[in-house]
Structure 1
């Protein structure tokens, strides 16, 4: 079995800006959000959701699922990056730097 590598393990980020002016639009927004969360995505910031994937192949599966859920209106972005790249993120709360909180627990099997 191949060991996990910070260059093989991937993160999928979904960014979205959907209209919410009408009741119907808010329902579409809420449904999209609930469906990606049901697929294992976690809120990183408002309208930015992340999912940890063991490989690029696994990430591709989840990217395809998100694409099937895309609403008619709005702006949606999907970005796939390595665990190494994700680990290099710098987060700030105002001017104060925050420690990166990983929204998953990785288990390594031998």
Structure 2
């Protein structure tokens, strides 16, 4: 399943911009991939992993703004319709289907 994180954070002051950067860095460190600006997704293996990831988001959330999490299955995620653009241009390794050894 996937966790989709949507956030709308204020960036009017230097302090708010710093909080935005720290939250975004936390998402990347946790393995989230950017789908769109302020929309990130992470692949999780089960409900326990999803609950742990959500708990870490709560712990590292910025004090201001809106952060939302949507949990969807892989089947639901695969039915995403692209109105404009091409998924191929944004593909990254984000599945458990194959093991990539570097």
- In the alignment, does 2:24 pair up with 1:33? yes
1:65-104 counterparts in 2 under 5 A? Answer: 65-93=56-84, 98-99=86-87, 101=91, 103-104=93-94
CA distance in 2: counterparts of 1:35 and 1:99, whole angstroms = 25
CA distance in 2: counterparts of 1:18 and 1:57, whole angstroms = 27
CA distance in 2: counterparts of 1:51 and 1:78, whole angstroms = 11
> Residue by residue, what CA displacement relative to the aligned partner does 1:65-105 show, whole Å, maximum 9, x if unpaired?
11111111101111111111001100122xx6x34746513
Q: 1:58 aligns with which of 46, 49, 60?
A: 49
Higher helix share: 2
CA contact (8 A) 1:42 1:103 kept: no
Larger-Rg structure? 1
Which TM-score applies when normalising by structure 1? 0.79
Residue 95 (structure 2) aligns with: 105
Higher strand share: 1
**How many residues align structurally?**
97
For structure 2, the residue ranges without an aligned partner over 5 or more in a row are none
CA distance in 2: counterparts of 1:99 and 1:47, whole angstroms = 17
> Residue by residue, what CA displacement relative to the aligned partner does 1:52-72 show, whole Å, maximum 9, x if unpaired?
011122111111111111111
